[in-house]
Structure 1
Amino acid sequence: MESNNPVVLLVDPADSRNGHAYKAAVRELGFDVVSLSTSPSSTAADLPADPAGEMSLQADGVDDAVRQVRAAGFDLRAVVPSRGSTLHLADEIAARLGLPGNDPALGWARRNKAAMRTRAVQTGVRVPEFRLVDSLDAVAEAARDIGFPVIVKQTMGSGSYGVTVIGDAADLDAATKDLAVDRHDRPVTEWLVEQYIRGREYAVNFCSADGEHRLIDVWEYRRPDDRDYDFPLWDIVQIDGSHPDYERVERFCKRVLDAFGIHYGPGHIEVKCSDDGDDVHLIELAARFSGGPAVPMWTRHSDLRPFHDAVECFLGRRPKMIDGDHGFRAVLGSVVIRNDGPPGTLVAMHGLDELRALPGVADVLVEFEPGDHVPTTNHNMCIPVSASVHGPDRATVLRTLAVARETVRLEITSDPAVLT
């Protein structure tokens, strides 16, 4: 395996929705791509063939990855993480090779919810009161100790899977029965029980270069009512500097990035602003781009080149995303059509063609088809329909979100067990 050109190592691009975009950006910036797979279930021979002649490595852990990269003798210029679940491995590989990257000592705190809370407390970052428990039986004691309502989370979950709100003691048994396994049916051994914060929730996106942080945008999670929730997605829309929470959320999140050693590349942070004061609480963070519709919408409706700029950061350069005008030409949003009723069989989805024809609507994603079983929507992996929305101003986007929601109707026959 040889390359006469300078090389960028992409960690786990084959397992990432952003892998292709990162590869294209690396090549357009004038570098060869080496893809590193850290998945124990595959071998280098199993990796998909690349028409551009991409070089691939399969490594069993950080030590093996570093050994192989050094042995290959590449003119390696950067290590770029591509997959959320292995960000901490990419950080360690970069550090061992003497290349720019985020603090490897804090990689686990950026990945594991319990470690995240512990690090926040150590650095004075406000988080909800919490307890770490190692059995479902201990959830009840922790919940009573903190005081209801609480929210229970699998410490290694993502996309709201394995997350549930418990409103009072009567809800304990029913709420915890589905928390014993993760989304891959593997046993879960620890859970985070924490105070439920009532208030406004935001997703906040940054880019960092050599420790300097630039806010890209802030998205507000808009809910249909004021009930407590464990899955925030409903209507999502950008806010700007005129919003009363904008500046304090930006200030808070910059502190979070510093506290968790995020110095290079994208940062995605979720926060809540409580209803009972001026407090901002950290809910989640990751050193990656948003997993929702934001990134593809940036490429269409702004001057941002997110994957190129992220690679530039890990090369130790200062990209336009840090200093330039982002050039947003529209306000952005997203609508999520959920099944908030009982699980059942999908008979039909009405209004999809009308939804696609609405002005300002794009990227309509349909995850089920007639005959499929549709669970109650409580995490990212079981959303029936979603779509990106854009418009010239916030008011237009909010109107389009409302029309889109009225346009689509799910016809579902509930499971027999629910009907009895």
Structure 2
Amino acid sequence: MSESKPAVVLLDPVRTGEGFKSAARDKGYAAVSVYSLDARILKNDWPDHALTDDLTLYGADADTVVSQLAAADYDLKAVVPANEAAVHLADVVAERLGLPGNEAALAWSRRNKSAMRARAHEVGLRIPRFRLVHDLSEVPKAGEETGYPAIVKPTMSAGAHGATLVPDRAAAENLAIAETRDVYGHLIEEWLVEEYIRGREFAVNCFSSDGEHRVMDMWEYRQPDDRDYDFPVYDNVQVEPDDPDWQRAESYVKEVLTTYGLRRGPSHTEVKCNADGVYLMEINARLPGGPATGQWLKHTSIRPFHDTIDCFLGVQPAIMEGPLDFRARFGAIAIRNDEAPGTLVAVHGLDELREYPGVDTVLVSYEPGDTVPVTSGMTNIPVGAYISGATQREVVDRLAGIRALVSLEIDHGEPAGSAPVPALSPVRDDA
């Protein structure tokens, strides 16, 4: 028996990484952190990422990571993907170490959107028609084959970064996508072109243990009108179990999780529902981003970081069978810039937002004087808030009240002869 200290390996514990590190130590394990993210991303976005690690390692491929872990003086008990960038690597490393994980042979299909679509097509899951392209000049032909409108998206990004709605052939022929790198800093070398599916869009959050799946909750991406969209986040509202689309979304997502070899841990699966059925948009083998994790911690018996570690230890967490104890209903709001890039003059109603009933978290990404781009993904939402209420109706009413209260004043003009205002790094306000 090893006399080394037992440890949990955390892959890319950034963003919500401190929650995983604290949970590991709370359970009696050292936090061995492995960072696969680009060094520039770590330096710029998370300069203090390693401050609370018991051991810090760097590596982007399984051979490098496994060799470093083999040399470490720890008794390794689990490998946990703490960020979407690491879900593929985590399962491959776990298999190499003989530790519990998800099916490594299907790990790439849980990360790369092209492989994700190919897997669904292979087994007959309902998905949009799609084509893979390696140059934007190929989009018009691909769009003709999938049908317009279409969505063009990088295969390895996240948070809708780089996703672009292409309404027709003319737009495809004049397509220009500003993002050359994905949200993790990697050069974009391929895109999916896929049929645009209309219908209600849901995010279904689950936990799995030894192949059994349980839905924690569902959220609907609600839009301000019926126009087609490429970025879904506007008003997010937690769905009630008696919603007419709940049962078919739940059944479909459980089939998806089994199909993709996801046997343990959290997942965040996005689907669209219409008269034709339920369509897979994306599967993510990790905790949900945005509001869900924090709201669970505040208002339920779900302990997302502890429960995730239990799953990868091969232990069934209590949430798989016990009550989830939802003491509130949830929502989230994005105050977006949908017009044109400009200089932020003011956020009106911000102080009142922080005191508004049911507002649990406020996120502010720009300060007056910053250049604010058109909102196109999770990384450039000017103002957001996480909401709770006693009922779904109360949550919806609070979202409407916030929209009437908070507004962005943006100068979209540029006086003759003036220089553009340089973009600054977003500031996060988690008050």
Q: CA deviation at 1:146?
A: 2.0
Q: Is the 8 A contact 1:342 1:415 kept in 2?
A: no
**Total equivalences in the alignment:** 412
Q: Is the 8 A contact 1:92 1:104 kept in 2?
A: yes
Matches for 1:158-197 after TM superposition, within 5 Å: 158-178=158-178, 180-183=180-183, 187-197=187-197
Q: CA deviation at 1:48?
A: 4.9
CA distance in 2, matches of 1:403, 1:213: 36
What do you get for the CA RMSD once the two structures are aligned? Answer: 2.3
CA distance in 2, matches of 1:311, 1:355: 35
Q: Is the 8 A contact 1:131 1:192 kept in 2?
A: yes
Q: Which residue of 2 aligns with 1:27?
A: 25
Q: Which residue of 1 aligns with 2:335?
A: 337
Q: Is the 8 A contact 2:32 2:53 kept in 1?
A: no
Unaligned runs of 5+ in 2: 417-431
Q: Is the 8 A contact 1:103 1:262 kept in 2?
A: yes
Q: Normalising to structure 2: TM-score of the pair?
A: 0.90
Q: Is the 8 A contact 1:269 1:286 kept in 2?
A: yes
Q: Which residue of 2 aligns with 1:137?
A: 137
Q: Identity of aligned pairs, percent?
A: 47
Structure 1 window deviating more from structure 2 (141-150 vs 172-181): it is: 172-181
Q: Which residue of 1 aligns with 2:423?
A: none
- Give the match's secondary structure for 2:109: coil
Q: Is the 8 A contact 2:121 2:127 kept in 1?
A: yes
Give per-residue Cα distances to partners, 1:165-185, cap 9 Å, x unaligned.
Answer: 111223224443436554577
CA distance in 1, matches of 2:341, 2:397: 29
Q: CA deviation at 1:295?
A: 0.3
Match of 1:404 among 402, 405, 413: 402
Q: Which runs of 4+ in 1 moved over 4 A?
A: 46-53, 183-187
CA distance in 1, matches of 2:53, 2:195: 51
Structure 1 window deviating more from structure 2 (153-162 vs 394-403): it is: 153-162
Q: CA deviation at 1:49?
A: 8.6
CA distance in 1, matches of 2:217, 2:128: 24
Q: Is the 8 A contact 1:132 1:192 kept in 2?
A: yes
CA distance in 2, matches of 1:227, 1:20: 39
Q: Which residue of 1 aligns with 2:361?
A: 363
- Return closer, same or farther for 1:335/1:309 CA change in 2, 3 Å cut-off: same
Q: CA deviation at 1:71?
A: 3.0
Structure 1 window deviating more from structure 2 (131-140 vs 172-181): it is: 172-181
Give per-residue Cα distances to partners, 1:24-63, cap 9 Å, x unaligned.
Answer: 1111112222122234638x9x985977671223345211
Matches for 1:302-321 after TM superposition, within 5 Å: 302-321=300-319
Give per-residue Cα distances to partners, 1:141-185, cap 9 Å, x unaligned.
Answer: 111222211111111121111111111223224443436554577
CA distance in 2, matches of 1:160, 1:72: 37
- Alignment of 1:72 with 2:67, yes or no, is no
Matches for 1:213-252 after TM superposition, within 5 Å: 213-252=213-252
Q: Which residue of 1 aligns with 2:104?
A: 104
Q: Is the 8 A contact 1:201 1:220 kept in 2?
A: yes
Structure 1 window deviating more from structure 2 (152-161 vs 402-411): it is: 152-161
Unaligned runs of 5+ in 1: none
CA distance in 2, matches of 1:199, 1:95: 38
Matches for 1:341-356 after TM superposition, within 5 Å: 341-356=339-354
